[in-house]
Amino acid sequence: MSNDFIYKRSLTIVYGDMALEPYSTVDCESPDRVWTILSHVRDLADFVEPVPCPMADLLLCHTESLIASVKRDGLVFQAAASAAGGAIQAAERALVGPAFALVRPPGHHAGRAFNGGFCFFNNIAVALKKLLASGAVRSALIVDIDLHYGNGTDDIFNDDNRVTFRNISASERTEFFHDLDEALADAARYDIVGCSAGFDTYIRDWGNLLFTEDFRRIGAMLASSNAHFFSVLEGGYYIEDLGKNVRAYLEGIRSGCS
């Protein structure tokens, strides 16, 4: 069996029980989000446990004072460090096959010296800074499909010419797919593509825009754009359908790699 065949058939989900901890945050960013996703995707992939992100890797993106502020709540810090570590593992796995970091808290609203929007550390940014620092990759594209702008990711990479950040912000479904297609037009030239995967654009969620089958299409578009692709969970708060939406997305990734 060739390595290419192994890549095309293998999907990794990085998940640990720390994502189910009831740390202090807003009610909508609850452990139920991860639990419902987990219950829908157990049969889709190989699962690996996240390793907490070490301080040295957090410092690639965040100031000491920001990290110290998160540390004031021990459970929040443990969960946030686990989420960032899970994103690192997903990015590393992406060098040999597609990967999804099923983590919480989310991260794309955390910048170098600030956080907010239910985020503490910027998971996808830490992951890519780690790969860049180690020399595993020399360039990266981040595509953010969450309803809300990834202001933290923009803050971290706005002066780093190795990383291109593209946020999909659309008010209509057709516009969304047009913008995503444009964002991925040159994706193959990057060493790796990462997606801040938010599901709050769903028709019954805050965004009131996309349907379940749209997430399947999105996953396929992203996965087929570059051989080295990973995603990190961001938003998505309509819990009744969140699991099936993430499953559709992951099935799209698998089809995009075939």
Q: Residues with catalytic annotation?
A: 109
The 10 Å CB-count burial string (b at 16+, else e) for 125-138 is bbbbbbbbeeeebe
Specify whether the CB–CB gap between 219 and 248 falls below 8 A: yes
Q: Residue 92 CA to chain centroid, in angstroms? A: 13
The amino acid at residue 21 is: E
Task: Tally the residues of the chain.
Answer: 258
In order of 22, 42, 90, 178, 252, the CA distances from 36 in angstroms are: 15, 11, 20, 30, 19
Sheet-wide strand order for 140-144? 46-48, 12-14, 99-101, 229-233, 192-197, 140-144, 163-167
Torsion angle, alpha carbons of 92, 97, 237, 31, to 10: -60
Torsion angle, alpha carbons of 227, 133, 67, 231, to 10: 0
